[in-house]
Structures are given as structure tokens and as C-alpha cells.
């Protein structure tokens, strides 16, 4: 886990950020969420336990900046912002399969944009977000076995 946090620390340093104990704690906590999203209010509550004087704005600002630097990934679920630690610092452009039962996130190695770009001749695609949802193999097996 330390190596994963060290990558993020190098990104912060490269972008001129100080490495405070609060940021280190935030990175260490988030590194436990590489294959699952966590609600940012949960992150906020955790940091307030460690640093009661730390403002909500500071926590949310750091998460936004981490997202902009590619340290974390954000998504919206049921109107709530969720965040997870970057699962692939080498290939930051990637997509996910998300289990709707347990929340496990699996990285997809292929981007489907070539397929869509071929169907839109002359258009300039400026961005996209692609996620697949369903049941992971473990949850699908549990559901299948519970129906027997």
C-alpha cells in the first residue's frame, strides 16, 4: 500500500503541493478504495475523526484537486459524489465494470470509443464516460445459488 501512496505523493510534489500529514492520511485512507467507490461524506467523517479542526471545504477541495491530478476517480451515484483511488496510474484513461450488489470495481482494458467514432464521421468527440453495471462473478454465483 505504501508504494501506491508514494505514487500519489510524487504527483502532488510534481504539481507543487505540500505533503502535509492530513494529505498523507487522506491518501492512505483512499488507497484502501482501489476497487470500490466510497461516498465522500464517509471520507469527510473519517478525516474529522483524525483531525477535528479540519474544515469540510479543505477535505472537498483536496478531493477535487486529487481528481484533477488523476489521483482519484469520481462518479455520481444517486445524487451523491463517490470517489475511489486511481486503479491505474499508467493508463489513466480507462473504464469500469461496477457490481451493483457489492460495489466491486473492475477495470476494463478496452475503450469503446473507436466503435462510436466510426459512426460519427466528421464529428469531434470531446469527452466520454463509460461504465458497465451488473453482478460480479462472485455475486452472480451467490444470486444463482440462492434461487435453487
Binding residues are 93, 99, 102, 128, 136, 139
CA angle 125, 84, 21 (to 5 degrees): 125
Known binding residues for Zn(2+)? 99, 102, 136, 139
DSSP, collapsed to helix, strand or coil, labels residue 108 as strand
Distance CA 55, CA 53 (A): 6
Known binding residues for Fe cation? 93, 128
Looking at the chain, how many residues does it have? Answer: 148
Q: Say if residues 24 and 5 touch (Cβ distance below 8 Å).
A: yes
Amino acid at each position: 500500500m505504501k508504494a501506491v501512496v508514494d505514487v500519489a505523493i510524487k504527483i502532488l510534489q510534481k504539481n507543487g503541493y505540500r505533503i502535509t500529514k492530513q494529505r498523507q492520511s487522506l491518501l492512505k485512507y483512499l488507497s484502501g478504495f482501489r476497487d470500490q467507490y466510497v461516498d465522500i461524506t464517509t471520507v469527510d467523517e473519517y478525516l474529522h475523526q483524525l483531525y477535528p479542526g479540519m474544515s469540510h471545504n479543505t477535505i472537498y477541495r483536496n478531493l477535487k484537486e486529487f481528481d484533477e491530478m488523476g489521483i482519484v476517480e469520481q462518479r455520481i451515484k444517486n445524487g451523491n459524489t463517490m470517489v475511489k483511488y486511481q486503479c491505474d496510474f499508467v493508463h489513466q484513461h480507462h473504464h469500469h465494470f461496477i457490481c451493483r450488489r457489492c460495489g466491486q470495481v473492475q477495470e476494463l482494458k478496452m475503450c469503446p470509443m473507436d466503435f462510436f467514432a466510426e459512426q460519427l464521421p466528421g464529428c469531434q468527440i470531446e469527452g466520454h464516460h463509460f461504465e458497465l453495471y451488473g453482478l460480479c462473478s462472485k455475486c452472480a454465483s451467490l444470486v444463482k445459488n440462492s434461487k435453487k
